[in-house]
Amino acid sequence: MIVMKTGATAAQVDEVVGEIKRNGLRADVSRGEFRTVIGIIGDERGVDFARLENLPGVKEVLRIETPYKLISREYNRLSDSADGDYVVRVGDVEFGGEEPVYIAGPCSVESREQVFRIAEGVKKAGAHVLRGGVFKPRTSVHSFQGLGANGQDEAREALSWLRDAGKEFGMPTVTEVRGEGVVDMVSEYVDMLQIGARNMYDQDLLTKAATKGKPILFKRHFGASVEEFLSFAEYMAAEGNKDVVLCERGIVPVGKGKSYTGYTLDLGAIPAIQKETFLPIMVDPSHAAGRRDLIFSMSCAAIASGAAALMIEVHYNPAEALVDGQQAITPEELKETIQACGRVHGVLAKDRAKGR
């Protein structure tokens, strides 16, 4: 990265950017209150760093060894953007702010009546963002793939139900984009795009979604390391979109025997990721636990670990749900969970205020 001097002119910044482009690379320009930092996007091996360092207005050239430099805390610190956490705004909701955010709704959008009924329930329970799947990536081709699988007309109708329910009850909306082909359409209806665990490695989908100018909820693949997770988040930052909320949703369990949870919720990843990046990190306890009787405990544990938000699957009658009913809780249970998480967050906030 190239750190410009305090008071460097726009023309001097442009000259550095031009030099980077002449090397066939791209530049990420981060303007802080007192100085500007320019990140190089691409293979840097052919760059003449000595030449860059001698350009007018350049203070120093630093090498950041991590493969996710644009979202690293070091990059943020050097640009003297806020040294703390980055806040991602989705409508009036702030991810990474002072209070946890709760995303809730059905795993799958099934009907207009279902979405509106659940939206009303989760809003009363204290949720801030409404979720609902229209395109459902499934392990088996014989499983319900979501209403979006029935064609564009049904997909648009289901997306409109989600959008309208969000507006009716005052909640921004989020849904998953399963592939590049649906990004444009989905972006017309929702406030936040979700990239699911199975698509974490899909570079073309990441770059396509990033160009839509909408916040992105980005889930960690169940077999990915933390470094891989952050490295693929970098693809979106490289497209100029740093409004990314990272999401831990559990990794593949180790060992044999009876399966007690769907996945292993890697709560240690939450504080570890917070030390590496300024992006907010949240938790999806529903997919990690895979069973509704564990959601309460895992949600409280996630907030205790420092998660900025939770995403919880909710249905007024989980037994009727077409997808993942075994891990959905009711609006009443969601309310109890949010209240308990609020108490946990309150205790930790008091401890932080005392410097513990």
Domain 2-63 has CATH 3.30.465.10: no
Which CATH superfamily, name and number, covers 88-353? Aldolase class I (3.20.20.70)
Q: What is the pairing mode between strands 192-195 and 216-219?
A: parallel
As a whole number of angstroms, the distance between CA 97 and CA 89 comes to 9
Q: What is the pairing mode between strands 36-41 and 26-31?
A: antiparallel
Query: Is the per-residue pLDDT at 284 higher than 60?
Result: yes
- Tabulate helix, strand, coil % of the chain (nearest 5): 45, 20, 40
Q: How high is the pLDDT of residue 94? A: 97
Q: How high is the pLDDT of residue 65? A: 82
Residue 248 amino acid letter: E
pTM equals 0.91
Q: How high is the pLDDT of residue 301? A: 98
As a whole number of angstroms, the distance between CA 356 and CA 349 comes to 10
Residue ranges of the chain assigned to CATH 3.30.70.1140: 2-63
Dihedral sign computed on CA atoms, order 297, 299, 302, 303? negative
As a whole number of angstroms, the distance between CA 247 and CA 283 comes to 5
Would you mind telling me the total number of residues written for the chain in this entry? 356
pLDDT digit string (tens) for 169-211?
A: 999 999 999 999 999 999 999 999 999 999 999 999 999 999 9
Q: How high is the pLDDT of residue 142? A: 36
Average pLDDT for 54-65:
90
What does the DSSP 8-state code read for residue 262? S
Nearest to 171 by CA among 248, 105, 112: 105
Q: How high is the pLDDT of residue 323? A: 82
- HSE value, Cβ hemisphere, 13 Å, CA-based, for 27: 22
pLDDT digit string (tens) for 200-255?
A: 999 999 999 999 999 999 999 999 999 999 999 999 999 999 999 999 999 998 87
Residue 320 amino acid letter: E
User: CB within 8 A of 125, min separation 6: which ones?
Assistant: 104, 314, 331, 332, 334, 335, 338
Beta bridge mates, 193: 175, 216
As a whole number of angstroms, the distance between CA 173 and CA 189 comes to 8
User: CB within 8 A of 29, min separation 6: which ones?
Assistant: 13, 17, 36, 37, 38, 39
| C-alpha separations of 125 from 49, 173, 293, 314 in Å | 55, 16, 18, 11
Q: Which residues of 322-344 are buried (b: 16+ CB within 10 A; e: fewer)?
A: bbbbebbbbbebbbebbeebeeb
Q: How high is the pLDDT of residue 139? A: 56
Residue ranges of the chain assigned to CATH 3.20.20.70: 88-353
Average pLDDT for 341-347:
96
Average pLDDT for 7-20:
94
